Amino acid sequence: MDFDIKNVDLAPGGRHRIEWAEQEMAVLRGIRETFGSERPFAGVRVGATMHVTTETANLMVALQAGGADVVLSASNPLSTQDDVAAALVSYYEIPVYAIKGEDTPTYHKHINAVLDHKPHIIMDDGADLVSTLHKSRREVMGNVIGGTEETTTGIVRLRAMAADGALEFPMMAVNDAMTKHLFDNRYGTGQSTMDGIIRATNFLIAGRTVVVGGYGWCSRGIAMRAKGLGANVIVTEIDPLKALEAVMDGFRVMPMMKAAVEGDIFVTATGDISVVDRHHIEVMKDGAVVANSGHFDVEINKVALRELSVDEPKRVRPFVEQFTLKTGKKINLLGEGRLINLAAAEGHPAAVMDMSFAGQAMAAKYLLDNKGKLENRVYTVPAEVDQQIASIKLASMGIQIDTLTEQQVKYLNSWEEGT
Ligand code: ADE
């Protein structure tokens, strides 16, 4: 079996951690059991480019239980858990192409290795796999039934492709499911981002000013958790509605240029470029920390940071590069400006990835069930899937809810009743 990972000897530790995560993934476990008896993916090749974590491992194992022939590469050069990659290769016989800290050519070589497998189903996180396939590996296109996309950034790219008429197979926007973005983006990103910042710096958050770039689902999770840790939180936005929500949620809102002067820690999660730009860096406090939790490492202008510095940054802790500016000020960049929650911590906890990856598994099955019937555009996950995932998750947490009485159903369906 071909693969490219850091070290197979890391496999035993990886297996323990995969099994640990599995205990938290009740919805995915149920799906794996159903897939195991129904084998819907028999003869189907799945090519995935996703963060290689214990949670992703459980998704791959569920697909494999359903009969799929699975291959996996990393969706970010810094997010791979090398012990998990080793365990997938050694114990589950899943070819993995991912090494934490791989350079950009290796990252792309690994994506191409997934495409060499001629997948029928694509699983993407950030749309690099889909985009590589369309741009330079078109000979693989004929095999593809469709794909699933995990993240907001990927869906933005896919919708742009669809609008251009460039998308050549249907894609399921898993991120747009309620059971994904309301939970994974908010509670997952919120907790894991603060976890990453704390693991990287060992800073006390209480009493510090944390500037959060954006107020989408990810950023609001970060703002909420930073506040919970005692930070004074400032939010920056470009959308008046989101800015208003941030204000009414109790946060200070101001332009980044003003926040830049006040912040101790900056975190971006907007999906756009240069949210922390040269002119912001120039006015930051000595010792300021800048981190990103958005999908790509474009949100902090790293080129400007380098240009403003006297020489190469000093690596002062494993995920902290300290830049000394020509003015003498020091600015600390975390995790090379890449997803800090996956670079310095372990990504979102399994209990929340359970719902996201249940959505992935069910979306992949939906593509198979509807083979040949879908158009080449971006589809949302059916609402029943959301209801089903939420119900199973609640049951796994031992939480019961009410059901409508007949009288209530009748009331909701009538238009005659009123004052
Ligand atoms: N994205 C964020 N957290 C993740 C995790 N734990 N596994 C896979 N993808 C993720």
pLDDT value at position 401? 97
Q: Which CATH number does 8-180+348-396 carry?
A: 3.40.50.1480
- What is the spatial distance between Cα 371 and Cα 412, in angstroms, rounded to a whole number? 37
Sign of CA dihedral 70, 71, 75, 81: positive
**Residue 125 predicted with pLDDT over 90:** yes
Mean pLDDT of all residues in 375-387: 96
**Residue 419 predicted with pLDDT over 90:** no
**Residue 41 predicted with pLDDT over 90:** yes
Is there a contact between 361 and 367 (Cβ–Cβ < 8 Å)?
Answer: no
- Amino acid at the residue 68: A
Ligand 1 atom with the smallest distance to the CA of 348 is 3
Q: Tell me the CA–centroid distance for residue 349 and ligand 1, in Å.
A: 8
- What is the spatial distance between Cα 307 and Cα 416, in angstroms, rounded to a whole number? 69
| Residue listed under structure tokens 């510090």 | 208
352-375 pLDDT, tens digit per residue, is 999 999 999 999 999 999 999 999
Q: Where are the beta strands (DSSP E) in 50-111?
A: 69-73, 96-97
Residues 374, 376, 382, CA angle at the centre, nearest 5°?
A: 50
Q: Nearest-CA neighbor of 151 among 182, 106, 181?
A: 181
Query: Best substitution site from 83, 189, 192, 340 to test ligand 1's pocket, by max atoms within 8 Å of Cβ?
Result: 192
> What is the number of residues in the chain?
419
Query: Do 8-180+348-396 and 187-343 come out as alike in CATH topology?
Result: yes
Q: Is the CB of 190 under 6 A from ligand 1?
A: no
CA-proximal residue: ligand 1, atom 9 (nearest): 51
Q: Is the CB of 56 under 6 A from ligand 1?
A: yes
Q: Nearest-CA neighbor of 305 among 334, 328, 346, 333?
A: 333
Neighbours of 67 (CB within 10 A): 15
Compute the mean pLDDT over every residue in the chain, rounded to the nearest whole number: 97
**Residue 418 predicted with pLDDT over 90:** no
Q: Is the CB of 145 under 6 A from ligand 1?
A: no
Q: Is the CB of 44 under 6 A from ligand 1?
A: no
Q: Is the CB of 55 under 6 A from ligand 1?
A: yes
Q: Tell me the CA–centroid distance for residue 406 and ligand 1, in Å.
A: 42
71-118 pLDDT, tens digit per residue, is 999 999 999 999 999 999 999 999 999 999 999 999 999 999 999 999
Task: Give the pLDDT band (50/70/90) at residue 266.
Answer: very high
**Domain boundaries, given as residue ranges, for the chain:** 8-180+348-396, 187-343
pLDDT value at position 88? 98
Ligand 1 atom with the smallest distance to the CA of 55 is 7
Q: Is the CB of 348 under 6 A from ligand 1?
A: yes
Q: Which CATH number does 187-343 carry?
A: 3.40.50.720
